[in-house]
A and B are shown apart, each in its own frame.
Chain A
Amino acid sequence: MKKEDTVKLISAEGFEFVIDKEAAMVSQTIRNMLTSPGSFAETQHGEVTFPEISTTILEKICQYFYWSLQYARGKETEFHIEPELTLELMMAANYLHT
């Protein structure tokens, strides 16, 4: 993966997830962030910190991004969500507008 095509997402605990920009932009919020005019810090450094999203949830979110891209390409698999994660994941998804 070329550096220019990736973005780094950092969880509250400091875990770093490097993913494709295309996947990250499944989230409308991240998409806006990366395409907004005016040089915000995130675009400058290519990394976004989410102090209020835990590592487990952020990981799940990244999994969802890739699953969503695959699904859009026609691969119809299931995306399983553990019930104990649903609340937090839901709020993170709402926050990230995905």
Chain B
Amino acid sequence: MSAPKKRTFQIEAFKHRVVVDPKYAEKTWKILEHAIHEIYNHNASGLSFEELYRNAYNMVLHKFGEKLYSGLVMTMTFHLKEICKSIEASQGGLFLEELNRKWADHNKALQMIRDILMYMDRTFIPSAHKTPVHELGLNLWRDVVIHSSKIQTRLQDTLLELVRRERSGEVINRGLMRNITKMLMDLGSCVYQDDFEKHFLEVSADFYRLESQEFIESCDCGEYLRKAERRLNEEMERVSHYLDPRSEAKITNVVEKEMIESHMQRLVHMENSGLVNMLVDDKYEDLKRMYCLFRRIPNGLVLIIDVMTSYIRDTGKHLVTDPEKLKDPVDFVQRLLDLKDKHDKIINLAFSNDKTFQNALNSSFEYFININSRSPEFISLFVDDKLRKGLRGVSEEEVELVLDKVMMLFRYLQEKDVFEKYYKQHLAKRLLSGKTVSDDAERSLIVKLKTECGYQFTSKLEGMFTDMKTSQDTMQGFYASLGAELGDGPTLAVQVLTTGSWPTQPNATCNLPAEILGICEKFRSYYLGTHTGRRLSWQTNMGTADLKATFGKGQKHELNVSTYQMCVLMLFNNADRLGYKEIEQATEIPTSDLKRCLQSLACVKGKNVLRKEPMSKDIAEDDAFVFNDKFTSKFFKVKIGTVVAQRESEPENQETRQRVEEDRKPQIEAAIVRIMKSRRVLDHNNIVAEVTKQLQSRFLPNPVVIKKRIESLIEREFLERDKVDRKMYRYLA
């Protein structure tokens, strides 16, 4: 087979050749160029959109897109140059207006041009990677007009000058400003930033630096802050009216930095008007302003808190260490509460209840309350005073308020067990003397303490209340069964106290008068008849008695006295005059108590039912006492020497403290054992840490004491030391 012939394929000629007149492109372009001119000359009405659009379409179709595009650039540039000249020629104040007007014109022209050249925009431009028409128009405007050397600086200067004028109080054309800044933003955010914002911020910084210097020399703190706030608001308003919203943060930073941050320290510590003065004078408005302003700058609030904290700590410290103020515990505590109230109010009204401020306040209080070791005692005395008479006639809600405030102070105490001890004592006295204002108030406080500290804290206290109630029932039963027998004798009211619940007292001797002894014995047998296996002992140092006394001119008075005083006074039924020694012998009351008792009977104005010879403040062993015939009193009932809770004397205080320390030892030991039992092996530092953590709700244990307790436990073979590591301990089961 022969090789096939080489094929030549023939191409058929087209019947109609496409003829593109070389002048065709130029002709078409001229039509469009003319149209663009007309558009810029505001002469475009009546032109046919379709015709122009079609011409542009044909140019692109016949591959003259490049010519069209470069023609567009040239024509537009030409017109923009003309526009530039006319703007440059405008005088002074009309510069911005002319710029604004021409900008609006350009935008309108641009849109029209883009619409008629839309076909090129969507087909030729993407494939040739050229800038689209709209963007091109903006870029040319930016390059030819805005960045022309004359206009660029003039524009910047004009804008900044207007801002300066507005800052010094003049009214400027804000609408015009807005249009201009919007133009800059449309041209690109870097145009806005480089041509305007950057300089605006610089100039503003200088302005505020000067102004703040001026103000700080001439104004006091409050005034200065007012001015600063005003300027800040002004700037924010300025932004909202004619600047880019993103400038707000930047300009407020400038103001904050120049006006507040640079002068922070000086403002806060300003003499006679600084922060401390504001706190002292309760200047809520000023403080609030300071808070809002300082909040904006780094470490602003930290500074305020620091100064406030040291001020509170100083004030508090003076309060708790001033011997004058410590004389009256009730007053002392009241002052503490007042101080807290004052600052709570400030934090609420001026510092918008900011938690960090609250915390600072709390920590300050905790700090200075615990400086004075007698704070627990004083707080208990304050409560005592309130529950005894302070809350008489006060509404239930107000009672709760006061008790809540007490609880708040209680929480600050580190030695809560000391408070407990005093509270118990004081409560006992209140209960036994029946001198409590409201049982409900008492119970309410107990509940609050229970919520705060747990069941163990209040179980004994509740026991006391129970005893009181039980005693009432017992007395009823007593009189019910033996009522007839007792007849006209003295009326007895007994409170039976369970030993564990009540504060322990040393058992004192006292000889009760015969009249009393009888009934007491009857009670004893009655009680033991119904409760076997118990032992009763009379607590003569805690009782009270009501005596009917008749004086010289026949005035009768009812005397409310302590049991001791009763024993003493009953002696005078049989004698008009008695010497100290005789009284001592007859009553067998302990010396210090007897002395005090006689003091209150004879040396106190208005209560001297006895006369002492020789008259003096103190009781001496060879004093003699006479029944005071001439005693007078306005009142029928005379209270003499009720057993009132008093601020302890120094030696008493020492004693109580010792007892507290003693009580703490077993608690520490119990904690150590609990911890070691669960951990088995632990090192010394960790034991101290854990023990502290466990006991911190009651008191702050002393690490030295903890160490001693550990040694003691080792001796008693609860723990042993590790043989290798002396700091490790092991639990011995």
Contact = CB atoms under 8 A, between A and B. Distances in A.
Interface stretch (B39-47, B437-445, B456-464, B707-715): B39-47
Contact of A32 (B39, B44, B118): B118
Nearest to A28: B118
A77 interface: no
Interface string B104-139: 000011011001101100100000000000000000
A31 to B, nearest CB: 10
B53 interface: yes
Contact of A29 (B46, B53, B111): B53
Interface stretch (A39-47, A60-68, A81-89): A39-47
A32 B696 CA distance: 81
A38 interface: yes
Interface string B463-496: 0000000000000000000000000000000000
A97 B122 contact: yes
A58 to B, nearest CB: 13
A21 to B, nearest CB: 15
Contact of A38 (B39, B50, B53): B39
**B-side interface mostly:** helix
Contacts of B47: 40-41
A42 B112 CA distance: 13
Interface string B47-90: 11110011001000000000000000000000000000000000
A24 B111 CA distance: 21
A66 B112 CA distance: 28
Contact of B50 (A28, A33, A97): A33
A38 B118 contact: no
B118 A39 contact: no
A16 to B, nearest CB: 15
A36 B115 contact: yes
A52 interface: yes
A6 interface: no
A74 interface: no
Contacts of B46: 39-41, 44
A44 B48 CA distance: 10
B50 A48 contact: yes
Contacts of B112: 36-38, 40
A36 B53 contact: no
A49 interface: yes
A71 interface: no
A96 to B, nearest CB: 10
Contacts of A48: 49-50
Contacts of B119: 95, 97
Nearest to A40: B49
B45 A36 contact: no
B111 A44 contact: no
A33 B116 CA distance: 8
B52 to A, nearest CB: 8
A39 B112 CA distance: 10
Contacts of A40: 44-49, 112
Nearest to B46: A41
B40 to A, nearest CB: 11
Top 10 closest pairs, chain A to chain B, by CB:
A39-B45, A40-B49, A36-B115, A32-B115, A38-B112, A33-B49, A41-B48, A38-B44, A37-B108, A42-B49
